[in-house]
Structure 1
Amino acid sequence: MLRVGAHVSIAGGVDNAVGNEVAVGGNCGQIFTHSPQVWQDPNIGDEEAEAFRTGTEANLDGPWVIHSSYLVNLCTPKDDLRAKSVDSMQKEVDAAAKLDIPYVNVHLGAHTGAGVENGLANAASALDELDVPDDVTVLVESDAGSGTKLGGDFEHLATVLDDSTQALDVCLDTAHAFAAGYDLSTAKGVKASLTEFDDVVGLDHLRCIHLNDSKHACGTNKDEHAHIGEGEIGVGGMETLVNDPRVEDVPLVLETPTEDGKSFEWNIQRVRELRGE
């Protein structure tokens, strides 16, 4: 079964995300529990959470993913930012448990001069401070790798998974991986990249794919998403990826732009067409 959806709004209450997902034709999806640009608590009421859970069970196949705040930086050498990041992540995993959401997605962040090795060690130890509820898993997301941001290299993801005491898994963002130098624009490139991911991280750790095309060329480290099949990855790469049997059961969550008259609904339908549905 193809599980595909989009990152939808929770405006007016987290339970509204269910209807928003259904409206764009998705059967799984992703949300922020609050504005990702500020330090803020999820503050989800009991009735709101119950409506979300019952609505999801009745209308979607799942899973949902919570995307953590953009301010979280697990790699930071700064004690105050680390403390805020851990606190924010703890609230996100607790919110996930309340909503029966199995995954909380997070970028590793930037080492800001501490170096790759120290940055990855910081991330692993920060994640170790979390009290992750049962049935919730933190997903470390691949990154485009600009500046001192980590996660652009599959080895970075593997290191954090190996060094952390948490049972972590991975979210692979196609636009980020492409920007970081993994060529997903050809059938050969897709197959080679997935094989490398399997060798380095393990496909058994791949729990979600952020399916996004890229407005910029491979290896540019530029993170700007494009409509499915209309960016630098293109139709050939996207079609190969979504039909590769190694990832055919992995949920696909779109973070494509809403522009040029094309919405999430258009992109989700495009994915279904590429899968032959």
Structure 2
Amino acid sequence: MSSLPLLGVAIPTATLETLQDFVLAENRDLEIQDFVDGDLLNGDWKSVADRTRNLLTGYTGRLGIHGPFWGLSIANPDADMRALNRQKHLQGIEVCDYLGATQMVIHSPYTTWSYNNLDNAPERKEYTRLLENCHDTMDAVVKRAEDCGVTMVIENIEDIDPDIRCALADSFNSPAMAVSIDTGHAHYAHGTNGAAPVDYYVRRAGDRLQHVHLQDAEGFADRHWAIGEGTIRWAAVFRALAEIESNPRLILELRDKAGILPSVAYLEALGLAR
């Protein structure tokens, strides 16, 4: 058996129907994408989940979902909006519980504006207020996730500072809150906003890191290209991943799902993953 890291995939249930053999043959880590849709969460989401479970008969890999995020910020300053955010994230945990999923991706609240302004007040008031808003939104969700054996992983979106969402995860003092890295988002922050390169994000997360979205980009936009189409330094990224012991799920999250198998082949040819 190869010692190379085993790659997983982020796909909707409809695509699982075509990649079922690829996933099941080695019980690859899997992230189901359907449940980002607020309308689905408010409707008959169980029919989609039942189809997912049927397609995964016999599966013993690590299953997760991408949680709801469209139009949501867990740091929203409006109490009514935080209540809605809380409800949506609780719906995501309900899906996890029904599916037997053990991980849910959520989005970082930090923006490019945050990077320049959170400390732009006496006693770091803006930083503290944002953190308090996150806890008001998510404390109940974290408790529910703990009860269900689910870990939420905070994905970098606009984050320029690789440490700030690590500190946010730590502030919950819970195994239900950890860290994710999206390689394309980090590369965008590096190329457009002067952030550190992707491998630095990995090292700064360290063993908080339990999930990685693998996608390629050129550093200007959120491309979700197949691996090899952009300019990310993949050897450096996988060297950094080899230094940590948390065994994060390495999830290919590509816009064009036809690029999944070629991406696996590309990384395998480089001797980085399979």
* Structure 1 contact 5–28 (Cα < 8 Å) conserved: yes
Moved more, 61-70 or 104-113: 104-113
Instruction: Supply the distance in 1 between the matched residues of 2:273 and 2:183 (Cα, whole angstroms).
Output: 20
Structure 1 gaps of 5+ residues are 12-16, 146-151, 185-189
- TM-score, structure 2 as length reference: 0.74
> Which residue in 1 is equivalent to 2:231?
232
Tell me which residue corresponds to 1:206: 209
Q: Number of matched residues?
A: 247
After TM superposition, the structure 1 = structure 2 runs for residues 1-277 of structure 1, keeping only pairs within 5 Å, are 2-11=5-14, 18-22=16-20, 27-34=28-35, 36=37, 40-41=41-42, 43-45=44-46, 49=49, 52-53=52-53, 55-56=55-56, 58-59=58-59, 61-109=61-109, 115-130=126-141, 131-132=144-145, 133-145=147-159, 152-164=160-172, 166-167=174-175, 168-180=177-189, 181-184=195-198, 190=199, 192-198=200-206, 203=207, 205-216=208-219, 222-241=221-240, 244-246=242-244, 249-258=247-256, 263-274=259-270, 275=272, 277=274
Which digits, 9 at most, give the CA deviation of each residue in 1:10-36, with x for residues without a partner? 34xxxxx64344356582221234453
2:121 is aligned to none
Q: 1:134 corresponds to which letter in structure 2?
A: C
After superposition, the CA RMSD in angstroms is 3.2
Deviations 1:23-54 (A, max 9, x none): 56582221234453758426333x76455346
Structure 2 spans left out of the alignment, 5+ residues: 119-125, 190-194
Identity across the alignment (%): 16
Q: Is the 8 A contact 1:66 1:101 kept in 2?
A: no
Paired residues of 1:228 and 1:238 also in contact (CA < 8 A): no
Secondary structure at the residue paired with 2:179?
Answer: strand
Give the corresponding residue for 2:192: none
CA 1:255–1:109: 2 relative to 1, 3 Å: same
Q: Is the 8 A contact 1:124 1:160 kept in 2?
A: no
Shift of 1:166: 4.3
On the 8 A contact 1:24/1:268 being kept in 2, the answer is no
Q: Secondary structure at the match of 1:76?
A: coil
Is contact 1:226–1:256 with CA below 8 Å preserved after alignment?
yes
The one-character-per-residue Cα deviations of 1:107-137 (angstroms, maximum 9, x if unpaired) are 1335788844322321133110223232112
Q: Answer 1 or 2: which has greater helix percent.
A: 2
Q: TM-score, normalised to structure 1's length? A: 0.74
Q: How far apart are the structure 1 equivalents of 2:129 and 2:7?
A: 36
CA contact (8 A) 1:121 1:160 kept: no
